[in-house]
Amino acid sequence: MVSEIFINSCILIAFISISQNFIRRKDINYKSSFLLKFITGLWAGLLGVILMMYSVKIAPTIITDFRALPILLSAIYGGVIPPIIASIIIGIFRIWHFGISYASIIAVIAIILMGIGFCFISTMKVTNKRKWIYSIGYLLTVNLFPIIILIKDPSSIFKIFIAYSLSTVIMSYFIFKYTEYINEAIKLYWKFRNEAAVDFLTGLNNVRQFDKVFNIVAQETIRNDGYLSLVFLDIDFFKKINDTYGHNIGDIILKDLADILRNSCRIYDNVFRNGGEEFSILLNNCQYDGAMEIAERIRKSIENNKFFISDKKFINITISIGVSTYPNITQNINELLEHADNALYKAKRTGRNKVVLYNNEDNIK
């Protein structure tokens, strides 16, 4: 009996560990799509079936295992749909594999009751820890009735129920701690992944993401004979702002400016903070006239915007912008960055608060 319980435990832990690689890329919760919930139910049902194949025979007509724990897991993390699907799969397998008998019917009823009960508990507005406690209490209560019905000897009922309860409680506690650990690991994974691509202050793509996206978009543009414009912009006299009002105010201005950039661009454009007060925008399928229109709209929006540095006090800022476009002005797409930077430099050198388009004939227009 001990060896079968150990095998059940190993199967359960191994299955959860392997599944972590797939869960990490999908956020399984109550708001997930029906398809993802359906797959989660299939996952729980399959795991329950495997656990049942290594059941512990505690009486001639009674077997036990940890088949209910996958149903419980799917309910806590997936809501109502997954445990119903898992219960049906496990119930069908119970009859198909072990045959139709009085004991099988009682077991199927118990599984269905567990699924329904876990569904109800999953909707409760309590912590996952509380849901686990309530679910285990409900699980033990439901499983007590088949034991009483199928076993006539009172002393055997007591021994079997105590042995089952202890093993279930111990395993449930371990699985709860393990799944909580996995959830924390997944959160850290996404946190570090996002931080590697997103600027922590503004929420825009960072300079590392710029290099990655630019290479992808550039190749797609060449392959599709398309257009690509690059906008570089820089806040005028930003050092003076930091020196006068402090870096905290400078950070507020950077975040507000990032919001303006998001709202001023098309939904499929890519906006980046390249560092400090420097920003860039990749305008997909956009020729120079469209790029200049967008750049000028951004310049005016920022010039006319009130950047509040306190509840009642605000300041105005300006930006300088350089624009480069492939292929009708810049023929080599890899030179877009250099040309946009040159155009930005001229915008700052010739008075600031303006948009300059790079031009091959005199280097800058």
Distance from C-alpha of 243 to C-alpha of 315, rounded to nearest angstrom? 14
**CA 7 to each of CA 2, 10, 44, 87, 164: distance values in angstroms, whole numbers, following the listed order:** 9, 5, 17, 22, 15
Whether 277 sits among the annotated catalytic residues: the reply is yes
Q: Which of 4, 195, 277, 296 is catalytic?
A: 277
Q: In the numeric block, which tokens belong to residue 276?
A: 């400090």
**Burial class of 261 by CB neighbour count within 10 A (0 to 12, 13 to 18, 19+):** buried
User: Is there a contact between 110 and 150 (Cβ–Cβ < 8 Å)?
Assistant: no
Give the count of alpha carbons within 13 A of 342, CB side only: 16
Distance from C-alpha of 360 to C-alpha of 225, rounded to nearest angstrom? 20
Q: 3-class SS at 264?
A: helix
Distance from C-alpha of 182 to C-alpha of 117, rounded to nearest angstrom? 25
**CA 13 to each of CA 69, 122, 207: distance values in angstroms, whole numbers, following the listed order:** 11, 22, 40
User: Is there a contact between 271 and 233 (Cβ–Cβ < 8 Å)?
Assistant: no
Which residues are catalytic, by number? 277
